[in-house]
Amino acid sequence: RRHAAATLSIRSEISYVMIKPDGVQRGLVGEIIGRFERKGFKLVALKLFQCPKQVSGGVAVGGGVCCNCLDIAEEHYKDLSSKPFFGALVEYILSGPVVCMVWEGAGVVKSARKLIGATNPLEAEPGTIRGDLAVQARGRQPAWLCPLKWPLVGRNVVHGSDSAENGERETALWFGKDALVSWEPALAPWLIESN
């Protein structure tokens, strides 16, 4: 399910990058988009998305979360569905507006992961998004400390696909097919040498 290749260049890979609710709430949208932009990748899709609340007879149902969004979030993180933090993770990702983006370019998947940094912000290198902008370690909190919220899901501000395949899969999931914009950045010759 590949989107139409930019006519002048060979179709390269895409990464689905999402600013998580904590990144949006903390006003980091411009900062995070700016880092990908300055790196030189091509933005091919972008939207602010909030899961609509599901209300029946004036009463919030299913925790107020719309089923379709729940399906999307669960599908997005399906590889982690057996983890003890899965439910909390899905809840976190639907807890507020998120910014969904698709970036394109040769090697974008690996490079975006490097820009984003390690999953645990405390281990993420300075210079990375998580290393510079987040503190909370993922992992478990002793049950006696926080019995209801155990285990904790860390706040790490951004998601990036971990493979080209997942870049395609996650893009289709959050944007549907044919949502990508095919364009030729005017700066392309200054970023990528071609003959």
| Residue 2 C-beta-side C-alpha neighbours within 13 Å | 10
Show the binding pattern over residues 140-169: x = contacts Mg ion (CB under 5 A), - = does not.
----------------------x-------
Answer for which of 124, 153, 157, 180 binds ligand UDP (CB under 6 A) is 153
Burial class (CB in 10 A: 0-12, 13-18, 19+), 60: exposed
What's the per-residue H, E or C state across 109-139?
HHHHHHHHCCCCCCCCCCCCHHHHHCCCCCE
Give yes or no for residue 103 binding ligand UDP (CB under 6 A).
no
Contacts of 30 by beta carbon, 8 Å cutoff, 6+ apart? none
User: Does residue 87 touch ligand UDP according to CB under 6 A?
Assistant: no
Rounded to whole angstroms, the Cα distance separating 68 from 176 reads 13
Are 3 and 158 within 8 A, CB to CB? no
What is the distance between the alpha carbons of residues 129 and 138, in angstroms, rounded to a whole number?
A: 16
31 vs 162, which CB is nearer to ligand UDP? 162
Task: Read off the tokens for 146.
Answer: 């926080």
Given the complex with ligand UDP, which of 6 and 174 has the nearer CB atom? 174
Q: Does 159 bind ligand UDP (CB under 6 A)?
A: yes
Supply the minimum distance, in Å, between the C-beta of residue 180 and ligand UDP.
22
Task: Give the active site residue among 35, 124, 159, 170.
Answer: 159
Active site residue 159: yes
Q: Which stretch binds ligand UDP (CB under 6 A): 30-38, 55-63, 94-102, 149-157?
A: 149-157
- Interface with ligand UDP (CB under 6 A), residue from 16, 36, 41, 85: 85
Q: Is 127 in the site for ligand UDP (CB under 6 A)?
A: no
Nearest alpha-carbon partner for 161 in 102, 74, 93: 102
Would you count residue 162 as binding ligand UDP (CB under 6 A)? yes
154 lines the binding site for ligand UDP (CB under 6 A): yes
Give whichever of 6 and 130 is closer to ligand UDP, judged by the CB atom. 130
Active site positions, annotated: 159
Residue numbers at the binding site for Mg ion (CB under 5 A): 162
